[in-house]
Structure formats: structure tokens, C-alpha cells
Chain A
Amino acid sequence: MHDPIVTFERVTKSYDGRTLVVEALDLTLARGEFLTLLGPSGSGKTTTLMMLAGFEDPTSGTITLDGKRLNHVPAHRRGIGMVFQNYALFPHMTVAENLVFPLEMHGVPKAEIEPKVKRALDMVRLPQLRDRKPGQLSGGQQQRVAVARALVYGPKLVLMDEPLGALDKQLREELQLEIKHLHDELGVTIVYVTHDQSEALTMSDRIAVFHQGRVQQLATPADLYERPANAFVASFIGENNRFDGTLVGRDGANCRVRLPDGSEIAATIEADLAPGAAVAVSIRPERVAVGAQAQRDNRFVGDLREVIYLGDHCKLRLAVAGNESFVVKVAAGDAATTLDRGSALAVAWDAAACRALPPLA
């Protein structure tokens, strides 16, 4: 990476001295990028963010910002902006006072304060609310003010911890785009935490997938979806059909996996695994074709369990080769959607569309 702004080197964190909440974290952030820490609740995302912000000390390892070690630099001297899930706007100050606060703390000359406050409020389209108290604002407005407050003094790096978690879906999608556009306009580096994979896919340049205190994969949204590093990532990002089996043959990137019921699947493989290893085969629902398809590498007959109508498309749930909830996506008008429950249905997919993955890194 040519211009790193933040690096984590072998950073670990344990609150109780026994369980590792963050484990040997190596992470490099490029200047100006939008990096999302994505993972289920309890996977160590907030802890990672708090160590970067200076509210928690790493148990071991080093964090640097602009090449300088951050260990023992107190939070207020790091110059890192932060947006909290519950906004954390000061309830006893008006919106404008909340924005003036960081400017005063950073010694911005009096004359420059008002124009900056005004610009920040215009930026989040709330100039008319400057004299309200936070308690008089809606959740979305509060979050906009919190974003404006974190950005107003021009930090190079801004951290956001599930900032939209408390908002309803529509508002969340609106603000996702607003934050993304602010990022593009201002060129700040943003580290964003969420457990919502679609939010991560929408906003991020890169996503680090957290699970059990470890980064499972750090990649662009497209890579993450198309080329998951392991079964956890495959099932966490997007919908996924999974078959657990044993690697029985491998020829470079092509391999064969034997399932417990004796059937075999042809798949591609990248991981450094030898025959005999346990693997999870991952296949996306939209990559499966229904009906007899002689030319596909993998052909199975499933037992139709359910047809779920979703407007523009339908989902079929089948039992296939021991997988009781094998999902296939088909167009809404497809003939298969008119079949009765219990009908036999042929499904097929290519080896190239299906990946044999290590069960977990």
C-alpha cells in the first residue's frame, strides 16, 4: 500500500486476561479509503475501533497513525473524529454549540468558528436546526449532527461505530449514501463498523470481516462476494448454499469434494488444502440453474420444499444431497414456480461457480 495512514501490527486485546477479544490483528488503512469492519455482534469490531480511538489500550502490538506509534497517546491528542451509535450529542448544548465545541478544543480562531459551523450544518442539510437541543431532533437529524460534529474540525481520520444502527431501514439507506458522498467529497479516511452486510457492501472501498476476534478476510466488496476466503465469509456475505464434505481429489484450482451421502461435487479451490481435508462447498443461489442441464458439471435432483414469491424473483427451497435448505433463485415467471411441494426438480451448476473453502480460517 503506497500511502498508509493507520497500521495495526499484531494487535491483541483481552479485557479479562484470559479470552482474546482481538487476536493478532494486522491491518493497514490507505489514506482516503472507506474501510468497514463487518462482523457479527461480539466479534471485536468496537474493541478494535476503541483501541484506534484511544479509549482502550491494546494488550500487545502496535498501532500507528501517520507513522507515529499511538500507544499511550491519549484520545484527545489523536485528532481522530468519532461518531457513536447513540449519537452522543451533548444534551445540554444546542446543535450549534455541539459543533463549536471541537473547534474551540482545537484552538480554532474565533473568527473562523462561525463560518465552519455554518458550512458543516449546510453539509448535512440542517442549517435551520442550529439552535435546537439534541433532544428536540429526530434520530436521523441527531445522527447528521453527530457526523457534522465529527467532521467540522477537519480530522484526517473518522471512526463510526454502527452509526445508523438505531434508525429505520429507509432512513438508514438514505444516510448510508449521504455518508458515502461526504467521504467522496471531503477525502477523509473513514473506518466504519457495522454488522449489516448490505450496509458494508453499499458504502465500503474495502471490508474487513471480523469473526471471533480475527479478520477472516480483508477485500473489496466484489472480491468478498465472489471469492470468499472461507465458509464463514461466504455465509456471512450474501446468501449461500453450503455442503460440508471431504476433499478427495485436486488438480490445481479444480477439485472434487465427497459429501457424506456419497455424492461428489466438482468445485474450484484456492486454499492450500490437500485431499482428505474437511472443506465446505459454497454455491450462490443465483448461480444454480433449474431443469435438466446436461452440459453443467454438477447435476442433482432435489425435492421441492417451498416456493417463496418475492416479486421480481422467486426463491425455491429444496432438499439436495443432504442439504435440507438448498436455495435457488429463479425468475418470477419460471415454470418451476408452478410445481407442487414434493416434486422432484433437477438442479445444476458449474464447477467454476462453486468454491471449496476451508470451514474457517
Chain B
Amino acid sequence: MAISRNNLLAAALIAPLFAVVVASFIVPLAVTLWTAIGNPEVRETLPRTTAALRGWNGEGLPSEAAFAAVAAELAQAHEAQAIGQLSRRLNFEEAGLRALLLKTARAKDRLSAPYRDALVALDPRWGETSLWQILARNTAALTPLYLLRSLDLSLTPDGKIVAAPADEAIFLALFARTFVISFWVTILCVLIGYPVAYTLSTLSTRWANIGMALVLVPFWTSILVRTTAWFILLQREGPVNALLLGLGVVDAPITMIFTRFAVYIAMVHVLLPFVVLPLYSVMKGINPAYLRAAASLGAPPWKRFIRVYLPLTMPGVAAGGLMVFMLAVGFYITPVLVGGPEDQMVSYFIAFFTNQTINWGMAAALACLLLAMTAILVVVARLIVPGFRLGGVSA
């Protein structure tokens, strides 16, 4: 009795938190997923056409009713200024459809029954089965097209999945590049962060605080500012080149800005604290008696490290590495500012589709696939990396 009362109380106390989590995390995620597969344009703009196409078997041409409906509804949509979204959507299915739809909408006054003949006369494409197949397919509430395109695949009018044309098949390479960059950034952060965290953990409280401040100060500056700093440092006429030239290491300034190298440097710099902090706290928590025990049992320093210290700090490596990897996968501004065109990551294209072409379906599909692939990679990492447990060593 008392227990269930307590449980109720606990539930009541966490309910607001739960609501915040739902509102701030689950809802946007669900909306994004919905945007990636939702297909409202044809259904909403051409409802009567949608109804008329319901009975069509996909062969030959649909009934006169469908032609009449599409002619009328396109004209209506044009007047209501709703044709833009629709034509953009269908143009994404097949280039050139935008022009066809606009042309048809504007020809309203010249069209009269029978509409089939009138439309074919206006543009022979209205007499092609494939056009009607595309229209009919998009009367469905959901579409796989955005996800397929994000995976360099495409749909033929009759619904077969085929490889996308070479000039549009850029996304698999983009995902691969995103994960490769994130992987190396993670490795570099761990390799640099581990000794830093170790050194901090061995210092006296006073020096550890100073060292920690040095690690954290960059953390308090915005990513934009830090990236801009690298932008300035790595320029052709920047201080790094000036130094190298001055020291006689190189004869001519080397190109660093707008390269993969610059992306790595700036990203590692931005993300380093995320691996140092969890590693430091794990290392601080390791009882020095374990290392003394290992020494008293005959282990030389490097074996103490490999057999005892490293496994015990593995939860910190996993937590920090995971955090860096997750953040790196979503990086946007740093590659944009210091990378070249070949160094842009998925986020760049998400922003591109959101801001430039207003193709939210593609933006959402890329975002969802990025999330899914990252989740799969983390699960795989958990399976194959020894000691990769987020909850710490099972003590």
C-alpha cells in the first residue's frame, strides 16, 4: 500500500520531466520522421483527381473524370497560389513536371470537354502512362522516395527501385564521408584527450583546477568563434604559414584552409573537452591501490596500464568517444567554414535542402537516415569493442 502510494508520488513528480522529454525530443523526432515519408501534396491539392485515380489499374490512361478533375484542380490551385508546392514536389519525381503543371494550370480558359483530348493536345505528355503512374503513386499518404534518394536510389514510374542517375547519386558517399571524418575525429580526440585527462588526474587539486580551466575555457566560447579562429590561423597569409615560412620549414605557404586537414584540426579542437571531461572523472575515481596491487603482483608499468588502467578507464573512453562521435556526425558550421566542397558533411545538405531548395522531405530523410546509421554503428561498436559499456565496469 505504502509502496504504491510512493510509486504514484514518484510518477507524479517525474511527470513534468517526462512531458518535457516528450515535447523536446520525441515529438520533433516523430515530426521529422513523418516529414521524411509524408506525401500530402497531391492528396491535398488535387483531392478529386485523387478520388478519380483510385479505380485506375495503372495501365493505359485513366478515365475522362481524372482528366477533367486534374484540369479543374490545377487551375484552382493556381488561383489559390498552392501550385508551387505541388509542382515542386512532382518535379522532384521527374524533372520537367513543374513546367507542365504550370502550363496546364494557366491554360484553364482554353480547355474544354472532353478533357482527355484537350490536355493531350495541350501537351502530349498528358497522354503518357508514366505521367499518370507518377500522379497515381503520389496519391498515397506515404512515399519512400526521399529515403530512396538519400540512399542513391530512385523509383521508375511503374514503381521499380533502381539506382539513381549518377549526377544525383551523391548521398552514400556523403554518409561515408561523414562517418569517416567523425571516426577519425573521435580517434584523434581519444588519443589526445586520454593523456591530457590522465595528467590532470595526477595533479594536485590546485594544478588540476588550473589545467581543467584551460581545457574548459575554449568550451565556454562559441563553436563559431573557435572555428573562425582556425579560419584566421590557417589562411594562406595566416600566422601558421607565417611561422612556417619564418622558420624556413617551407618555401611557399601551404594550403591549409578549405582542406580536410583544417576540418580535422578545428573539429578536434572543438570536441576535445567532451572526451577529457568524462575520462577525467573516471580516472579520478580509480583507486590508486589497483595500480599498486598490480605492481606488487609483479606488473611493470606498461602492463599495469594495459591490463589494469586501460580496462578500468574504458567506460570513460566509451562515454567520451561516443559523445564526440555523436556530436561530430552532426557537425555543420566547422566544415562549412574551414573545409572545401569535398569536406562537407550530411548536415550541410540538410541545411541546403531546408534553406535553399525548400525540400523538407529530403532534409528530413537525410536526418532520419543519419540518426539510424549512427544508432546502428553505436550498437555494433558496443558489440565488438571490449569493455564498451556505458554504465561503467560491472563492479
Contacts and interface: CB of A to CB of B under 8 A. Distances in A.
A53 B307 contact: no
Contacts of A82: 292-293, 296
Interface in B259-294: 287, 289-290, 292-294
A105 B299 contact: yes
Contact of B300 (A76, A79, A91, A101): A76
A76 B312 contact: no
A76 B394 contact: no
A135 B296 contact: no
A225 interface: no
Nearest to A105: B298
Contacts of B155: none
A55 B290 CA distance: 13
A15 interface: no
A41 B145 CA distance: 74
A91 B395 contact: yes
Contact of B298 (A79, A89, A92, A134): A79
Contact of B297 (A55, A91, A153, A159): A153
Nearest to A133: B394
B395 A102 contact: no
Interface majority SS (helix, strand, loop, mixed), chain B: helix
B303 interface: yes
Given A75-B295, A76-B296, A88 B394 contact: no
A192 B300 CA distance: 25
Contact of A75 (B287, B290, B296, B393): B296
B312 A105 contact: no
Interface residues of A, number: 30
Nearest to A102: B297
Contact of A88 (B289, B298, B303): B289
Nearest to B387: A92
A11 interface: no
A19 to B, nearest CB: 18
B298 A74 contact: no
B393 A92 contact: yes
A92 B306 CA distance: 13
Interface residues of B, number: 23
A76 B292 contact: no
B65 to A, nearest CB: 73
Interface in A100-139: 101-102, 105-106, 133-135
A304 interface: no
B360 to A, nearest CB: 48
Nearest to B310: A92
B308 interface: yes
Contacts of A81: 296-297
B127 interface: no
B212 to A, nearest CB: 25
Interface string A247-264: 000000000000000000
Among B294, B295, B297, B303, which residue has the most Cβ atoms of chain A within 10 A? B297
Nearest to A81: B296
Nearest to A159: B296
A211 interface: no
B83 to A, nearest CB: 65
Contacts of A133: 394-395
A101 B299 contact: yes
B38 interface: no
Contacts of A149: 297
B294 A101 contact: yes
A146 to B, nearest CB: 8
Which residue, B295, B300, B311, B393, has most C-beta atoms of chain A within 10 A? B295
A309 interface: no
A105 B297 contact: yes
A283 interface: no
A76 B289 contact: no
A54 interface: yes
A91 B313 CA distance: 12
Contacts of A76: 294-301, 304
A88 B387 contact: no
Given A74-B300, A91-B394, A92-B311, 12 more contacts: A76-B296, A76-B299, A77-B298, A78-B296, A80-B296, A81-B296, A88-B293, A90-B290, A92-B312, A92-B393, A102-B297, A153-B298
21 contacts: A75-B292, A75-B296, A76-B295, A76-B301, A84-B289, A84-B292, A86-B289, A88-B287, A91-B290, A91-B312, A91-B394, A92-B393, A101-B307, A102-B297, A102-B298, A105-B297, A105-B299, A106-B298, A133-B394, A153-B297, A153-B298
The 5 A-B residue pairs whose C-beta atoms are closest, nearest first, are: A105-B298, A102-B297, A82-B296, A88-B289, A88-B293
Interface of B: 287, 289-290, 292-301, 303-304, 307-308, 311-312, 387, 393-395
Interface of A: 53-55, 74-82, 84, 86, 88-92, 101-102, 105-106, 133-135, 149-150, 153, 159
